[in-house]
Amino acid sequence: MKTATELDYPEIREAVQALCARFPGEYWRALDKEKSYPSGFVAALTEAGFLATLIPEAYGGSGLPLAAGCAVLEEVHRSGGNGAACHAQMYTMGTLLRHGSDAQKAQYLPLIADGSLRLQAFAVTEPTSGTDTSRIQTRAIRDGDHYVVNGQKVFISRTEHSDLMILLARTKPREECAKHTDGMSVFLVDMREALGNGLTINPLDTMMNHASTELFFDDLRVPAENLIGAQGQGFRCILDGMNAERILIGAECIGDARWFNEKAADYATQREVFGRPIGANQGVQFPIARAHIQAEAAALMVREAAQTYDAGKPAGSLANMAKLLASEASWLAADTCIQTFGGYGFTTDFDVERKFRETRLYQVAPVSTNLILSHVATRELGLPRSF
């Protein structure tokens, strides 16, 4: 029986499943061991057009809504793979598509759609501000027909495998702004020109997401025409990207959860101890059933958030709640799966331990669970701000 969300875009799901079958567990295990980037997988997704799902047809894409992007990324994760190497190309579209100029879209979108350019880097987080985006210190100061950028970013993924970056920087000091979210601006940075000319990339050694880096900007000159939207209104522009990011990450978590639950159920059916399948024991089957129920409930929230976003309605709270529920559902499924496998869950051959590490990330990034709870408490329940 198909769930409600699985019935969304069945042709896309089947096509993604067929593509992912060419990249089995052995492929991902080898990359994880070497901490390498899945270039072959990303190239295949690009060639098949899946990374251009959200780009309008006029620019060479499919022109499909965010819900279709959710279907793509969910199936990537449900196949046992990981979409982190390329998912930014989908969620950064929210900023470029909704706030980019006609000239910017005409210049970049066709090349992004056909894979000539990779829009994979989303540079917001800084070492001293963390999730308090309003306190970023990277500055962009207008100098003639350029902006001069100085500052630092951290935990920025895929910069070594990207051509274009969406960068958030302050163009006006926070203390001079009427609202703390004013005074920030968004820029489209051509990293092919920036690298070595004011931009330095340092790789970070992490337990997952091996393409994570820190960035240093030293008098980087960015053409003024690369400003996305109005100067000082960048926070509003990136919200469309951030809300899309949360929803798409939620879809990835649903894919992870379904992978874990299917793995656990299959193993519990086949594994025999004391003369019968371990899945016959309620102590084994009940946790798997609960993890399945939570995953399916979270999937409906992700679906609702995507539909709201696609309708152009305010989706901030729904996007946050969907991401929280989905990340917790995937973590419950991961923990249940590794408990079901026992010692074998910690070996690399079954891919459980790899996926276990990967899915844990999503309660921290791209926004922490605690910050989501603060958002819902204040925006939805009217409770006083805690910060």
Q: With the CA atoms of 375, 381, 382 and 387 taken in that order, what torsion angle do they form, in degrees rounded to the nearest 10?
A: -30
What value does the mean pLDDT take over residues 350-363?
Answer: 97
Please say if the pLDDT value at position 272 is more than 80.
yes
Please say if the pLDDT value at position 210 is more than 90.
no
Q: Are 121 and 195 in contact (CB under 8 A)?
A: no
Helix (H, G, I), strand (E, B) or coil at 192: helix
Token pair recorded at residue 194? 């920036």
- What is the percent of the chain with per-residue pLDDT over 90, rounded to a whole number? 91
In order of their start, the domains of the chain are: 5-113 (1.10.540.10), 119-233 (2.40.110.10), 236-379 (1.20.140.10)
Query: pLDDT tens, 168-208?
Result: 999 999 999 999 999 999 999 999 999 999 999 999 999 88
CA angle 270, 275, 276 (to 5 degrees): 40
Q: Are 57 and 63 in contact (CB under 8 A)?
A: yes
Short-list 21, 227, 171, 45, CA closest to 118: 45
As a whole number, the mean pLDDT across the chain is 95
What does DSSP say about strands 164-170 and 119-123: parallel, antiparallel, or unpaired?
parallel
Token pair recorded at residue 172? 């006006």
Q: Is the dihedral of CA 87, 229, 195, 219 positive or negative?
A: negative
- Return the pLDDT at 120: 86
- Return the pLDDT at 5: 82
Query: pLDDT tens, 310-338?
Result: 999 999 999 999 999 999 999 999 999 99
Query: pLDDT tens, 240-252?
Result: 889 999 999 999 9
- pTM, two decimals, is 0.96
What value does the mean pLDDT take over residues 272-288?
Answer: 98
- State the pLDDT confidence band at 1, using cuts at 50, 70 and 90: low
Q: Are 211 and 283 in contact (CB under 8 A)?
A: no
